[in-house]
Structure 1
Amino acid sequence: MDTKEIIKKVKRIELKSRRKANNLFMGEYHSSFKGRGMIFSEIRPYQYGDDVRNIDWNKTAHFNDPYVKVFEEERELTMILMVDVSASEQFGTRKQFKSDTIAEICATLAFSAITYNDKVGLVLFTDQVELVVPPKKGKQHVLRIIRELVNYEPKNKQNNLEIALRFLMDTFKRKANVFVISDFIDESNYTKNLRIAAKKHDVTGIRIFDEKEMDFPDVGLITLVDNETGVQKLINTSSAQVRANYRNYFELKTNQISHNFHTAGAGYLSIQSDEDYIKPLLNYFKKHSVK
């Protein structure tokens, strides 16, 4: 992809994602995630119903009337976008590749975050961590993240979430809102690291899948190639049993991934790559804010 094409694609994603972030779920994002803690705001006269544990005894003695310390939530947060850039993301049979949908979702989340002065960081991984963009604030930083998502060429083809989660825990010591965005075509045993990461961070898994990964069409005898391993397999798609087995395998993997995240105490949602991703994100944020 040449420079002009990259700039054009970044601009298109920026305009689309900023509009979605501004119009649809800025407020939901804000209410869904809590800050790191409480910070001092002011001292004021005691009012009925105030917590007596917050009484400022020095001010109370000085003015001979009760005064309390008022605290408010420390709102500033850090968002970490952990993005799978393995070869299976370069697949799409409808409007676009899974990687294109991932870039749009990341941009929308990032623009929602910086609206509230939150920092956003990016981790690109395959079967190793390939690129890290440290968390920062501001529009220019988000544009850099979009450029990396659009232009980065992975060194490896396969995926290992276990390694990526270990890197997350070793690198980001303070609590963050972590979005793991992947198709989760992953043979690693990442459940232990996911459970540990979810205790420290607010973790959400976003699975991106293509329609044809769910239901295979009847197109006769074809050769399938695994993008990550290069393994080829000849299958007869005219067989109803083959197509049923294909669908059953997809549903089995779907249930397994969902189970992995929920039992770890993490959030999870699944999005088809050619659908409007705003509705499932909005529904997730609304449910998340109730917790």
Structure 2
Amino acid sequence: MIPREVLQKIRRIQIRTSHLADNLLAGQYHSAFKGRGVEFEEVRPYRIGDDVRAIDWNVTARSGEPFVKLFREERQLTVTLLVDLSASQGLGTHWQTKRELIAELGATIAYSAMKNNDKIALTLFTDGIEKAIPPRSGSRHVLRVIRELLYCQPMGHGTDITTALEHLNRTAKRRSVAFLVSDFQDRGYEKALKVARRKHDVIPIVVTDQREFELPDVGLLELVDSETGEIAMIDTSSNRQRRLYAERAREIATTRDQLFKRLRMDPIYVSTGDDFVDPLRKFFHQRECRR
């Protein structure tokens, strides 16, 4: 039985994200992603300004007047959300945790896909696959996606991006648009990402929190790694300790971003407490311009 407060949260997210998909991101999602191809629809008389390469010479020869072929995009795509539910997603030093941010972000993408009649699949992972929901369309399916994003209780604690990508390659029957949503606190996933990149349109979404890069000056602090359980004592009143902490975080982020650059991937960066709509809108716009 899902607790009442979770049902209320699902309802709030449903209302907010459906509104975002309808109003703020309307049209941009459709323009950002290509369909699987085009198929012939009909012919019509040639008009001034039409591309001469579209002329149907057989019909033109029979009728004695120029006709052009019309095509329509075979639109329906499969959008896969690969979502990291490792223990580090519980961090949140603003009014929301990383997991809550991921739920809203994932719901917005799912509703945007639904409005365009695309199918949505969901894979939740930690250091293993926690749950996999096959692609379907419709509002009831999106509600299930939101419920799982919020309510799924993972068995694992760590992060294994390689396992998630291998699962995608093994189960996806055709090319899909795959949003890989994680804080990317993992190593050794470069090879799996390269393989998935060749088969699918993989889009990394990097979820962060301010405290991963900056410690407050609060004296002696015991830090526990939520994924490994490792404990470390840090004197946050020491400028050197805070600087080393920040430098280590930047090194990890730089290594990750250099990998994305080598693979010519366009990541989306979101952070707790910040609006994720602008990064999404900017990404969709860049994709549309590139098309």
TM-score range, shorter chain: over 0.9
Partner of 1:197: 196
In the alignment, the residues of structure 2 paired with residue 265 and residue 54 of structure 1 have an alpha-carbon distance, to the nearest angstrom, of: 37
* SS of aligned partner of 1:193: helix
Q: 1:252-276 CA deviation, whole Å, 9 max, x = no partner?
A: 2222222222222322021111111
Letter in 2 for 1:122: L
Q: Distance in 1 between matches of 2:2 and 2:117?
A: 33
Distance 1:275 1:70 in 2: 44
Take 1:244 and 1:168, find their aligned partners in 2: how far apart are those partners?
39
Distance 1:250 1:121 in 2: 32
**Structure 2 equivalent of residue 55 of structure 1:** 56
Deviates more, 1:30-39 or 1:19-28: 19-28
In 2, the alpha carbon distance for the partners of 1:67 and 1:110 equals 40
Following the alignment from structure 1 to structure 2, what is the Cα–Cα distance between the partners of residues 94 and 167? 33
Task: After TM superposition, list the pairs within 5 Å mapping 1:243-258 onto structure 2.
Answer: 243-258=242-257
Q: What is the aligned-residue identity percentage?
A: 40
CA distance in 1, matches of 2:2, 2:164: 30
Give the equivalent residue in structure 1 for 2:172.
172
SS at match of 1:145: helix
Instruction: Give 1:76's aligned amino acid.
Output: Q
Q: Say if 2:234 is the partner of 1:268.
A: no
Q: Kindly indicate whether the alpha-carbon contact (under 8 Å) linking 1:199 and 1:265 is maintained by their aligned counterparts in 2.
A: no
Distance 1:280 1:53 in 2: 38
CA contact (8 A) 2:54 2:69 kept: no
State the SS of the aligned residue for 2:75: coil
For residues 1-291 of structure 1, the aligned pairs below 5 Å read 2-47=2-47, 49-52=50-53, 55=56, 57=58, 59-187=59-187, 189-291=188-290
Moved more, 101-110 or 242-251: 242-251
Question: 2:242 is aligned with what amino acid?
Answer: R
Give a deviation string over 1:59-95, Cα, whole Å, max 9, x none.
3444344433321222221111110011111111111
TM-score (norm 2): 0.94
Q: Could you list the runs of 5+ residues in structure 2 that have no partner in the other structure?
A: none
Distance 1:21 1:197 in 2: 27
Distance in 2, matches of 1:54 and 1:253, equals 55
- Higher mean alpha-carbon deviation, 256-265 vs 131-140, is at 256-265
Shift of 1:247: 1.1
Distance in 2, Cα, partners of 1:54 & 1:64: 13
- Root-mean-square deviation (CA), in Å? 1.7
Which deviates the most, 230-239 or 261-270?
261-270
Q: 1:54 to 1:64 in 2, by over 3 A?
A: closer
Residue deviations 1:164-194 (CA, integer Å, cap 9, x gap): 111111111322111111111112x111221
Q: How many aligned positions are there?
A: 289
Distance between the aligned counterparts of 1:177 and 1:28, measured in 2?
15
For structure 1, which runs of at least 5 residues remain unmatched after alignment? none
Return the TM-score normalized by structure 1.
0.94
State the Cα deviation string for residues 112-152 of structure 1 (Å, max 9, x = none).
11111111111101112221111111111100000111110
After superposition, what is the alpha-carbon deviation per residue over 1:3-54, rounded to whole angstroms, capped at 9, x for unaligned?
Answer: 3122111101111211222221122111111111111111223445434465
